[in-house]
Structure 1
Amino acid sequence: MEVCKILHMNSGDGDKGYAKNSLLQQKVISMAWPIIKETVEDFCSTQNIPITTLSMADLGCSSGSNTLMIISNLIKQVELHTNKPTQYQIFFNDLPSNDFNAIFRSLPNCLQELKNQVGDDFGNNCFFNGVSGSFYGRLFPNKSLHFVHSSYSVHWLSQVPQGMEIINKGNIFIDSTSPKNVIEGYYKQFQKDFSLFLKCRGEEIVTGGRMVFTILGRTDEYPPNTDYYCYDIKFMNLVLNGMVREGLIKEEKADRFNIPKYRPSPKEVKTEILKEGSFMINRVQVSRIDWNFYNNGEFDELLSNNNVHDVVDSSYYFAKCIRSVYEPLFISHFGEAIVDELFQRYSKMVKYKMSNKKYEYVNLTMSLTKI
């Protein structure tokens, strides 16, 4: 699986697109915002020499309202402080298959809103750029960035660990039936990728610059408990295996499919940061988000804006979110013919499971300073 060529969220603003099904990710960004805000404030307060051009990058930006929301909030936060930069250089980064067109179509409205809040002259001093490429490699010149943000991206691996189709039969990720060397294979791939990610950013960010990223993680260490086994993928695996038993999907085809993702513990993340040596750790936050957050009252305004009213079937919207993320991977490997059936079954399974048990995502947010 050539991840860099096929990994992207569903494009467009249609019913299955990521842009209309990323409310969960927006909630995650909102949960991380206090740390992001604190990091920006601290960076601004420690600058002895005024910065004329402030360069910021959003890595794994995807597309939709979340992409522009975080950049807009970052700019407004900087504008609240003294020594305002005279210009902003903003970089949107993702893999080549990302829907960059949607981002740039939305920019005029975003700029107008910023002008209304910051000042009419602001739009002439803000420059936006799309940067296509994997963040597991160099993207920017040496010491060219002041602030880097990434949300729900760095837990994606550059590739599926080698040999998974042989040793992880019947599973598409780490599961309770996976042998020990599957866990070890995924962990080694995470170590390799994350270390390279840190090294590249360490070369691109100025001394004293900041980076904040949020990833899916877990709270347990090895040996794992059920926190290790990602239920969103586990349920997908159960659906896939059911379709194999019914002869809708060939078993050997399913065995060759594994998800290129790893959910590390805080200790695993800290270990790699300290080992690589480019950054100092400022803050580590572990947070949880309930799959049923659509009904917890925290997001009533956003739900209203998305035409979701009163008590809703959270499982339906959660399953749509998962489809908008994973569908391109399934289409690339299995083809389009089975995808509708697979996700219809997945939606039913999620509804059944959520009616009987509470499920959560564990998020890790890290604030770092370039040494």
Structure 2
Amino acid sequence: MDLKQVIHMKGGDGEEGYANNSLLQRKVISLTKSLRDEAITNVYRNTKSESLGIADLGCSYGANTFLVIAEAIKAVEKFCQEQKQKSPEYKVYLNDLPGNDFNNVFRSFDAFKKDLISEVKNPMGPFYFFGAPGSFYDKLFPNKSLHFVHSSYSLQFLSKVPEGVDNNKGNIYLAKTSPPNVFKAYLEQYQSDFSFFLKCRSEELVEGGSLVVTLIGRIGEDPVYKDCCAVWETMAMGLNDMVKQGTIKEESVSSFNIPIYYPCQAEVKKEIDTQGSFDINYLETSEVNFSELDNWDGSDFTSKKPESLKDAEFNMENCFRAVAEPMLMGHFGESVTKEAFNRFLKNAADHMPKDKTKVTNITMSLTRKP
């Protein structure tokens, strides 16, 4: 399985695609708006750059893709208006793996540009947009070319499946029955990936540049904390039933492990301190209950509701499907994946009730050291 091709959100504008199932991600973006506004305003104030380099890593596609960029530009424009100074130009880079639906992103650009200009109202600096396909676990941009880097709900993905986890029998992620070596392998892969991610960003950011990241994590030190592992245990349950019925072979499930790690806050802080390129301005853990999203229309901090999310009720199963299906398709193929999700839907009602299920977020705001 080529992870660079299968780790992406489910493309298209259909009912099960990411564009119609990204309300949770939008909610999390809304919760971190003030932090991002403060970070990019401080960078602009301190660097006084005439040209701001901005990158969104793991941009995906759909209603949320341009949201962070629009809010960042508006924050700088507001500051410029208050200070009665000329706006900078903006060089914006949208990054994701090559399998991302970049066609959807590019088709949305003209509408985004029109909306942004109308919302800012006053004359603003020119802005240029670029697609940047590739893994953020590699260098993506020239040294000292960026001022502000953002990533939301992407950094929990690993660069690869940890090595030596083939004995994780009956599981597709960390579980109570996982052998000790599996826990060790996942932790070490996370440490290696996150440390290298920080190193790459420190080279690409100017001195004093800002990095704001939100990822899915866990509460406390227990790596099999129920809220981060329940969804994968529920999926594994259906796959194991298919093994018992002879639909798929046991080895097929044993050789499939999700390239994701949900760290706790202490693990995140340890890697930032160990890598050493950044000062921590903010590092906190928060939670969002899935049931909260049923009555939220996605418009907390924008005047315009996203068309794809306007009339949609939050569907927990479709939200998960939009993330997980490409990975399962890459390993099991279409027919097995379809049956696996049918079983997942039946099991989720019993094992993942919406009113008791939540997601843990770890949000950090970092500044590149001199």
TM-score, structure 2 normalization: 0.92
Tell me: CA distance 1:156–1:344, structure 2 relative to 1, closer, same or farther (3 Å): same
Of 38-47 and 338-347, more deviation after overlay is shown by 38-47
Residue aligning to 1:117: 119
Are 1:157 and 1:260, in contact at CA under 8 Å, matched by a contact in 2? yes
Tell me: CA distance 1:357–1:14, structure 2 relative to 1, closer, same or farther (3 Å): closer
Residue aligning to 2:320: 322
Which aligned pairs between 1:83-232 and structure 2 lie closer than 5 A?
83-119=85-121, 122=124, 125-165=126-166, 167-221=167-221, 224=223, 226-227=225-226, 230-232=229-231
Equivalent-residue separation in structure 2 for 1:12 and 1:345 (angstroms): 23
Which aligned pairs between 1:15-26 and structure 2 lie closer than 5 A?
15-26=15-26
Equivalent-residue separation in structure 2 for 1:9 and 1:354 (angstroms): 22
Tell me: CA distance 1:229–1:12, structure 2 relative to 1, closer, same or farther (3 Å): closer
Equivalent-residue separation in structure 2 for 1:355 and 1:134 (angstroms): 34
Which aligned pairs between 1:1-371 and structure 2 lie closer than 5 A?
1-47=1-47, 50-82=48-80, 83-119=85-121, 122=124, 125-165=126-166, 167-221=167-221, 224=223, 226-227=225-226, 230-295=229-294, 297-299=295-297, 306=309, 308=311, 317-355=315-353, 358-371=356-369
Equivalent-residue separation in structure 2 for 1:341 and 1:217 (angstroms): 29
Equivalent-residue separation in structure 2 for 1:81 and 1:126 (angstroms): 17
One-letter amino acid of the counterpart of residue 280, structure 1: D
Shift of 1:226: 2.8
Shift of 1:84: 4.8
Shift of 1:306: 3.2
Residue by residue, what CA displacement relative to the aligned partner does 1:245-302 show, whole Å, maximum 9, x if unpaired?
A: 111221111111000000011111111111111110000121101122233x444766
Equivalent-residue separation in structure 2 for 1:84 and 1:175 (angstroms): 55
Of 283-292 and 344-353, more deviation after overlay is shown by 344-353
One-letter amino acid of the counterpart of residue 3, structure 2: V
- Runs of 4+ with deviation above 3 angstroms: 119-122, 297-309, 354-357
Tell me: CA distance 1:357–1:308, structure 2 relative to 1, closer, same or farther (3 Å): same
One-letter amino acid of the counterpart of residue 284, structure 1: L
Tell me: CA distance 1:225–1:253, structure 2 relative to 1, closer, same or farther (3 Å): closer
Residue by residue, what CA displacement relative to the aligned partner does 1:159-210 show, whole Å, maximum 9, x if unpaired?
A: 0001212x21110000011112111100000011111100000000000000
Tell me: CA distance 1:332–1:356, structure 2 relative to 1, closer, same or farther (3 Å): closer
Tell me: CA distance 1:88–1:261, structure 2 relative to 1, closer, same or farther (3 Å): same
The Cα RMSD (Å) is 2.0
Q: Give ranges in structure 1 of 5+ residues lacking alignment.
A: none
Shift of 1:356: 8.5
Shift of 1:35: 1.6
TM-score, structure 1 normalization: 0.92
Residue by residue, what CA displacement relative to the aligned partner does 1:121-164 show, whole Å, maximum 9, x if unpaired?
A: 54x71100000111111000000000000001111000000121
Equivalent-residue separation in structure 1 for 2:298 and 2:78 (angstroms): 28
Equivalent-residue separation in structure 2 for 1:250 and 1:125 (angstroms): 56
Q: Give ranges in structure 2 of 5+ residues lacking alignment.
A: 300-304
Are 1:176 and 1:229, in contact at CA under 8 Å, matched by a contact in 2? no
Residue aligning to 2:302: none
Q: Percent identity over the alignment?
A: 43
Tell me: CA distance 1:232–1:268, structure 2 relative to 1, closer, same or farther (3 Å): same
Of 199-208 and 345-354, more deviation after overlay is shown by 345-354
Equivalent-residue separation in structure 1 for 2:367 and 2:311 (angstroms): 40
Are 1:205 and 1:370, in contact at CA under 8 Å, matched by a contact in 2? yes
Shift of 1:214: 0.3
How many pairs align?
360
Shift of 1:24: 1.0
Equivalent-residue separation in structure 1 for 2:247 and 2:310 (angstroms): 36
One-letter amino acid of the counterpart of residue 154, structure 1: L
Are 2:156 and 2:216, in contact at CA under 8 Å, matched by a contact in 1? yes
Equivalent-residue separation in structure 2 for 1:303 and 1:132 (angstroms): 25
Equivalent-residue separation in structure 2 for 1:254 and 1:57 (angstroms): 37
Equivalent-residue separation in structure 1 for 2:216 and 2:329 (angstroms): 23
Tell me: CA distance 1:207–1:180, structure 2 relative to 1, closer, same or farther (3 Å): same
Of 110-119 and 203-212, more deviation after overlay is shown by 110-119
One-letter amino acid of the counterpart of residue 351, structure 2: K
Equivalent-residue separation in structure 1 for 2:63 and 2:8 (angstroms): 16
Shift of 1:308: 3.8
